């Protein structure tokens, strides 16, 4: 299955940008519901992109028991990640459960597993304080808080291990315009997530994720593989 065929099987697409002192990194994600994911082809693609065989095997095993799976890569193929998604972990009453799990190939050949733990809502004082303290772009949080209706959930998760201390807020239900974060070229797109914190590899970072299209993600992956 080539890249275009792989994209045709996917159910979710996003573009994201991670801003650090050193660089602005752009990434693309392909996502599938686990019961519809072409796991054999995904395994081949992940291995072809240089991901650890052991990591891919664990992801496949975990993914077949999850609700969703995804692959993220950046343009220079230096950051490759696999994900699983648990819908039960996103429920408001499921605090402490893993909503997402990330499997990251590092430059030295090692693997890092990041568990995104459900901490409730972004607007809760403890969560908001942590997000502000671990962001170089606090105005992004202000924009979200000003534009999100009070009755719309803004799920907040944290990742804490030896390689990562960070947060991610899922804001897609608020229907916020991505152009406010990504610039006028993306006016009319939906903002999906905000994130921030510190990573052992890239240092302090802030990220935003926007809804994308199959054609955009396909073009991105072709460019990354060129």
Average pLDDT estimate for 141-154: 96
Element housing 16 (H / E): strand 12-19
Smallest CA-to-CA distance from 72 within 45, 107, 90, 108 is with 45
Average pLDDT estimate for 81-110: 88
The confidence score (pLDDT) of residue 111 equals 81
CA distance 226 to 167: 32
Q: At what angle do helices 39-48 and 53-63 cross, to 10 degrees?
A: 160
Average pLDDT estimate for 190-219: 94
How do residues 178-192 score in pLDDT, each as one tens digit? Answer: 999 888 999 999 999
Angle at 31 between CA 28 and CA 37, to 5 degrees: 140
Q: Which residues contact 162 (CB under 8 A, 6 or more apart)?
A: 200
How do residues 13-66 score in pLDDT, each as one tens digit? Answer: 999 999 998 878 999 999 999 999 999 999 999 999 988 898 999 999 999 999
* Containing structural domain, residue 194: 3-225
Give the number of domains in the chain. 1
Q: At what angle do helices 138-147 and 125-133 cross, to 10 degrees?
A: 150
Cβ distance 80 to 72 under 8 Å?
yes
The confidence score (pLDDT) of residue 101 equals 96
């Amino acid at each position: 299955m080539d890249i275009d065929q792989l994209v045709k099987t996917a159910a979710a697409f996003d573009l994201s940008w991670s801003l650090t002192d050193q660089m602005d990194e752009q990434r693309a994600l392909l996502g599938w519901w686990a019961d519809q994911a072409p796991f054999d082809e995904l395994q081949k693609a992940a291995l072809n992109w240089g991901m650890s065989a052991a990591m891919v095997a664990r992801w496949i095993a975990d993914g077949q028991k999850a609700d969703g799976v995804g692959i993220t890569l950046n343009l220079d193929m230096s950051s490759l990640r696999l994900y699983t998604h648990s819908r039960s972990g996103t429920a408001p009453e499921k605090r402490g459960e893993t909503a997402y799990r990330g499997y990251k190939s590092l430059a030295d050949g090692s693997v890092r597993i990041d568990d995104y733990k459900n901490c409730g809502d972004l607007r809760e004082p403890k969560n908001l304080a942590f997000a502000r303290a671990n962001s170089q772009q606090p105005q992004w949080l202000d924009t979200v808080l000003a534009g999100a209706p009070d009755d719309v959930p803004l799920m907040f998760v944290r990742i804490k291990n030896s390689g990562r201390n960070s947060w991610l807020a899922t804001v897609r239900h608020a229907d916020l315009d991505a152009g406010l974060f990504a610039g006028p070229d993306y006016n009319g797109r939906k903002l999906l997530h905000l994130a921030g914190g510190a990573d052992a590899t890239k240092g302090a970072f802030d990220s935003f994720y926007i809804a994308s299209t199959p054609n955009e993600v396909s073009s991105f992956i072709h460019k990354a593989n060129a």
